[in-house]
C-alpha cells in the first residue's frame, strides 16, 4: 500500500501519462531507478502488461459484486473484502465485476484487471479470475485501513510457464496436514500452481495404501533422526486434494522408485533381494543404498502397480512422479520404462528425476532436472520436456546464506541466497514446462524451519515461473517483495529475515 501511495504521489507530481510501467531491464542511474521503482505496482510475480493512467480510485466501504461464473474467484474476493471490512451491498454505487469471457490471448490462467471507476476482472476461466483476485489482494493492504486508494490501471497478465511448483519432502520429516494447507494458501497468493509431495523415501512412507497397510504402520512411524514421523490417511489426502483444487494448486504425488525405498523394504521385506541384510527402518541421512529387487519382477511389479493404482485414485493430477533418482542397477532403465508404462496404462503421464532419461520412455514423460550440469540434451532431442529444479538455484534446503546452520551445501557451498535464486536463466536448460523449487527435509524438522527455508525464496520461484524474462530486475523485485511483508506476516509465515529486503 505504501508503494502504491508513493506511486500515486510520483504520478501526480510528475504526471505519469498513459504509458506502460513494465520495469525496464536496466535502470540507468539512481534518479531513474527511483522513478522506475515508484511507477511499479507492488505485485509479485510482476504482471505481463501494466498501464497506469495516472489517476487513482478509492475503493469504498461497500461495493456490489457481479459474478458470471468465477466460483473460487468469488470466494477469494469475498474473503479479501471481509478482511478489509468492506461490505457487499447489491445497491452500492461501486462494483467489482468478475466476467468469464472468451479471449484466446489469455489462455487457461491469464486475466485482465481494470481499475477505473470500479474494478472489472475478466478471464477465460475461474483460475484466471482467481489470479486476478490475488493481484488485487497484493495491491491492497493485508489488513483493514481507513481508506483504500488504488491506481487506475489496466493489467493484462498471462504466465510464462504452466508449471510453477514447489516440492515438499514430507518423507524424511513429516509435515502435518495443517501445514500443507497453510502452504497451499501461501502458494496461491503468488500464483504457484503445483505442489509436489515427495511421499516416500528411505526414512518414511507417508501415504496410506489400503492394500499394503504395513507401509504406513511401519514406514509411517519412522523418520530421519530428529524429524517428525506420521502419514496422510486416504481421507486426508482427498481433503487436501480438494482444498488445493479450490486454490488452483494441483497436488503432484511422488512415490520414489526403485531406489530410496528402505521404508517400503522394512514394511515388506520380500521387495528386497534375498541377500540384503539391512531390512529395518532407517533414520540416517545417507542416500543411494536401498532398492527394490529388480531381479524379482514377479514380486515388485505387482506391488508397484497396486501402489500406483491407489495413488492415481487419490490424486487427479495428470502427472504422477515415479522418482528414479540416485540408484545404480543394470536393470534400472528397464524398471523406469516399465513403471512409466504402468502410469500410462493408468491413464496418466509419468515424471522421473533426470536419471530416468536413460530409459526408453515415451517423449511425453517429463524429466525433472536437478543437477545443473546433467547432460539432458539427448533426452531433449527425443522430445522430452523438463521441470527445472537445478539445485544451485532451486534447492531451498540449502542456506539462505553461506553457512546457515542446518542447511545443506553439497550443491553450492555459498548456499542459495535470494539473489542467487533469482539469477537463474530458465532459458539455458532447454525446453521446459516450468520451474519447481525443492525443500528436502533431512535437516528441516519443524514448521518454523520449513517457513524459514521456503520464504521469501518461494516468491522467486513464482516470479521466474510467471513473469516475462525480459522484465527481470532484481532491484525492482526486492522492492516489490519487501512491500509484501505485511501479507507474509498476515499469513503467519516465519520467513528468513532477508537483508536484501530490509526484513
Positions in the binding site for ligand TNX (CB under 6 A): 287, 325-326, 353, 370, 395, 397, 408, 440, 442
Q: Which is nearer to ligand TNX, 157 or 254 (CB)?
A: 254
Our CB check for ligand TNX shows the closer of 326 and 500 to be: 326
- Least distance from C-beta 395 to ligand TNX, angstroms? 6
Buried b (16+ CB within 10 A) or exposed e, 142-161: beeeeebebbbbbbbbbbbb
CB of residue 278 to ligand TNX, shortest distance in Å:
17
Q: How far is the CB of 435 from ligand TNX (least distance, A)?
A: 15
CA-based max dimension of the chain: 79
Given the complex with ligand TNX, which of 156 and 394 has the nearer CB atom? 394
Q: Of 46 and 440, which has the nearer Cβ to ligand TNX?
A: 440
Residues 370 and 417: beta-carbon distance below 8 Å: no
**Shortest distance (Å) from residue 399 CB to ligand TNX:** 12
Query: What is the smallest separation between the CB atom of 325 and ligand TNX, expressed in angstroms?
Result: 3
Q: Which residues contact 82 (CB under 8 A, 6 or more apart)?
A: none
In degrees and rounded to multiples of 5, residue 152 shows phi and psi of -75, 125
Which residues fall within 8 angstroms of residue 8, CB to CB, at 6 or more apart? 56, 149, 151
Q: How far is CA 494 from the centre of its chain?
A: 18
Of 261, 145, 140, give the one whose Cα is nearest residue 203. Answer: 261
Give the Cβ contact number of residue 370 at 10 Å: 22
Torsions phi, psi for 183 (to 5 deg): -65, -40
Give min distance, CB of 122 to ligand TNX, in A: 41
Q: Which is nearer to ligand TNX, 196 or 480 (CB)?
A: 196
CB of 397 to ligand TNX, least distance (A): 5
Nearest to residue 267, comparing CAs of 285, 255, 279?
279
Choice between 113 and 388, CB closer to ligand TNX: 388
CA distance 98 to 67: 5
Q: Which is nearer to ligand TNX, 205 or 370 (CB)?
A: 370
Amino acid at each position: 500500500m505504501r508503494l502504491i501511495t508513493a506511486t500515486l504521489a510520483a504520478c501526480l507530481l510528475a504526471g505519469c501519462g498513459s504509458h506502460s510501467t513494465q520495469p525496464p531491464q536496466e535502470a540507468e542511474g539512481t534518479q531513474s531507478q527511483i522513478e522506475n521503482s515508484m511507477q511499479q505496482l507492488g505485485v509479485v510475480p510482476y504482471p505481463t502488461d501494466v498501464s497506469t493512467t495516472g489517476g487513482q480510485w478509492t475503493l469504498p466501504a461497500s461495493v456490489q459484486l457481479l459474478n458470471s461464473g468465477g466460483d473460487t474467484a468469488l470466494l477469494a474476493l469475498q474473503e479479501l473484502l471481509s478482511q478489509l471490512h468492506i461490505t457487499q451491498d447489491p445497491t452500492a454505487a461501486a462494483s467489482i465485476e468478475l466476467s468469464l469471457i472468451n479471449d484466446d490471448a489469455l489462455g487457461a490462467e491469464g486475466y485482465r484487471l481494470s481499475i477505473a471507476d470500479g474494478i472489472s476482472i475478466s478471464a477465460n476461466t475461474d483460475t484466471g479470475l482467481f489470479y486476478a483476485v490475488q493481484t488485487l489482494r497484493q495491491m491492497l493492504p493485508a489488513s483493514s485501513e481507513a481508506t483504500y486508494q488504488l491506481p487506475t490501471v489496466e493489467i493484462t497478465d498471462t504466465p510464462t510457464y504452466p508449471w510453477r511448483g514447489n516440492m515438499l519432502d514430507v518423507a524424511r520429516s513429516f509435515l502435518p496436514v495443517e501445514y500443507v494447507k497453510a502452504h497451499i494458501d501461501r502458494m496461491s497468493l503468488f500464483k504457484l500452481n503445483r505442489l509436489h509431495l515427495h511421499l516416500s523415501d528411505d526414512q518414511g512412507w507417508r501415504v496410506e495404501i489400503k492394500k499394503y497397510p504395513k507401509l504406513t504402520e511401519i514406514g509411517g512411524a519412522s523418520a530421519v533422526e530428529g524429524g517428525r514421523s506420521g502419514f496422510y490417511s486416504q481421507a486426508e489426502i482427498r481433503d487436501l486434494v480438494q482444498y488445493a483444487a479450490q486454490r488452483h494448486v494441483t497436488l503432484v504425488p511422488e512415490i520414489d522408485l526403485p531406489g530410496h525405498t528402505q521404508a517400503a523394504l522394512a514394511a515388506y521385506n520380500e521387495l528386497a533381494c534375498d541377500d540384503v541384510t539391512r531390512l529395518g527402518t532407517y533414520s540416517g541421512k545417507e542416500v543411494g543404498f536401498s532398492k527394490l529387487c529388480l531381479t524379482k519382477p514377479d514380486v515388485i511389479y505387482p506391488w508397484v502397480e497396486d501402489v500406483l493404482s491407489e495413488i492415481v485414485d487419490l490424486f487427479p493430477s495428470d502427472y504422477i512422479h515415479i522418482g528414479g533418482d540416485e540408484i545404480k542397477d543394470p536393470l534400472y532403465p528397464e524398471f523406469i520404462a516399465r513403471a512409466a508404462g504402468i502410469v500410462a496404462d493408468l491413464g496418466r503421464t509419468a515424471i522421473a528425476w533426470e536419471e530416468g532419461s536413460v530409459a526408453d520412455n515415451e517423449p511425453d514423460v517429463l524429466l525433472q532436472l536437478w543437477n545443473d550440469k546433467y547432460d539432458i540434451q539427448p533426452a531433449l532431442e527425443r522430445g522430452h520436456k523438463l521441470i527445472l529444479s537445478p539445485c544451485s538455484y532451486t534447492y531451498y534446503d540449502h542456506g539462505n546464506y553461506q553457512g546457515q546452520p542446518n542447511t545443506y551445501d553439497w550443491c553450492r557451498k555459498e548456499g542459495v541466497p535470494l539473489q542467487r535464486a533469482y539469477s537463474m536463466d530458465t532459458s539455458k536448460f532447454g525446453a521446459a514446462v516450468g520451474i519447481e523449487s525443492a525443500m528436502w527435509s533431512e535437516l528441516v524438522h519443524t514448521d518454523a524451519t520449513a517457513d524459514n527455508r521456503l520464504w521469501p525464496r518461494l516468491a522467486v520461484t513464482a516470479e521466474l515461473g510467471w513473469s516475462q524474462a525480459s522484465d527481470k530486475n532484481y532491484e525492482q523485485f526486492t522492492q516489490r517483495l519487501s512491500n509484501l511483508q505485511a501479507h507474509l506476516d498476515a499469513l503467519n509465515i516465519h520467513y528468513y529475515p532477508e537483508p536484501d529486503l530490509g526484513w
